[in-house]
Amino acid sequence: MQHVTLIAFVLSEYNVQPCVHYLRACGRERHWPAPSDDELATLVEHIFLHAELDHIAALSDTIDPSDIDALNIAVKYVHEWKVSDWAMRMNVSAGVAPCTEALLQQAEAARLCFPACVRPPNVGSIGEKRAKRWARRLRDRWGGRYGSVPAPECVEPENLCAKVRDCHTSVSIFGRHVCAQTVCFGIASRALFATHLAIINSRSVFDV
């Protein structure tokens, strides 16, 4: 699990969401008590900050990975997260609930962002049953549902902040996500975290 978590964290450009989703899935399979998203995000932080830099770089090397099985699992989760994150941003920022065809198009665009040697398989086009199954599973796994984004309403300025918070929850067709997009660190941890990122990025672990 730690290998997949580290790889997913790096491949997602240090976003905790795919890691949290993976760890939660592992917990369900093993019938563990369900921790909160914040607790899982803290666990991701702990795993990353206590891993050797050479170990992280070797795991994340897409040309010659030290654990190809973990890399393939991480790619699957990061790929799905990219699509669901895009859909949620469309819900919130653009007020649009993407259709299945749009999800499939975004899935292909996200798939092509990965190096060819680890690229996930094509999920299919709108006319294929396998594509519809994939989209249905994506919604099930990432908290999606069929629906429409509520039309905007006129809001008094003094009520705007509260309405924005409510709107963020109500229009997210892909609404099950970690509240914090990235991990929150203390001052010492932030410095160590930044050092990790600088060293890892300098080693060019993303070999396309």
pLDDT at 184 over 90: no
- The Cα–Cα gap between 118 and 86 comes to 21
- Residue 150 confidence class, pLDDT cut points 50, 70, 90: low
Inter-axis angle of helices 129-141 and 68-89, nearest 10: 80
The ranges assigned to domains in the chain are: 2-202
Look at residues 180, 183, 163 and name the one whose alpha carbon lies nearest to residue 171. 163
Instruction: Inform me whether the pLDDT recorded for 195 exceeds 70.
Output: no
Half-sphere exposure of residue 189, counting CA atoms within 13 Å on the CB side? 12
pLDDT exceeds cutoff 50 at 12: yes
Q: Which of 28-32, 41-45, 202-206 has the lowest mean pLDDT?
A: 202-206
The string of pLDDT tens digits covering residues 86-136 is: 998 888 887 878 888 999 999 999 999 999 989 999 999 888 999 999 999
pLDDT attached to residue 159: 57
**pTM score above 0.75:** no
Q: Which of 78, 72, 73, 85 is nearest to 143 (CA)?
A: 85
**Cα separations (Å) of 58 from 114, 147, 201?**
17, 43, 13
Average pLDDT over residues 1-21: 94
128-156: average pLDDT = 77
Look at residues 139, 152, 141, 145 and name the one whose alpha carbon lies nearest to residue 173: 145
What is the distance between the alpha carbons of residues 111 and 10, in angstroms, rounded to a whole number? Answer: 16
